[in-house]
């Protein structure tokens, strides 16, 4: 059974600081996804990582994937208040006829204080 674990689950940080969210998963996969969720809202796709060593960057967020270590990281650089949200990683496993079922981590609730 595939398990996906994130840490930390809660993170409170100051604007301008750097921090990293970790996502570990238990079985081999080359595909990992990062989503953002604002309170009461839906999930917004941030990054799709498709191979070992993949690195994607968007603004102050950078995601990477190490399939050998079964680890993905989401790095936040010089945090700003607008990045406050809950961040989820997810790994997919194949379903029937190409369907890909996502297994999510528990989520990391990030609060950025002025």
Partner 1 sequence: DAGITQSPRHKVTETGTPVTLRCHQTENHRYMYWYRQDPGHGLRLIHYSYGVKDTDKGEVSDGYSVSRSKTEDFLLTLESATSSQTSVYFCAISEGIGGFYNEQFFGPGTRLTVL
Name the residues that contact partner 1, by CB under 8 A. 4, 31, 33, 35, 41-43, 45, 48, 50, 88, 90, 92, 95-107
String of DSSP letters for 27-53: S--S-EEEEEE-TTS-EEEEEEE-STT
CB 17 to partner 1: min, Å: 25
CB 110 to partner 1: min, Å: 15
Which CB, 17 or 41, lies closer to partner 1?
41
Which CB, 17 or 101, lies closer to partner 1?
101
CB 37 to partner 1: min, Å: 9
Which CB, 69 or 99, lies closer to partner 1?
99
Which CB, 32 or 79, lies closer to partner 1?
32
String of DSSP letters for 49-107: E-STT-EEEETTEEEEEETTTTEEEEEE-S--GGG-EEEEEEEEEE-GGG-EEEEE---
**Dihedral angle of Cα 37, 81, 21, 67, to the nearest 10 degrees:** 70
């Amino acid at each position: 059974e595939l398990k996906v674990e994130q840490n930390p689950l809660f993170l409170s940080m100051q604007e301008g600081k750097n921090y990293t969210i970790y996502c570990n998963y238990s079985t081999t996969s080359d595909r990992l996804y990062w989503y953002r969720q604002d309170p009461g809202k839906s999930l917004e796709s941030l990054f799709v990582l498709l191979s070992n060593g993949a690195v994607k960057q968007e603004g102050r967020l950078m995601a990477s994937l190490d399939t050998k270590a079964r680890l993905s990281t989401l790095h936040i650089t010089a945090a700003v208040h607008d990045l406050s949200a809950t961040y989820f990683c997810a790994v997919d496993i194949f379903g029937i006829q190409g369907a890909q079922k996502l297994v999510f981590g528990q989520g990391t609730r990030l609060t950025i204080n002025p």
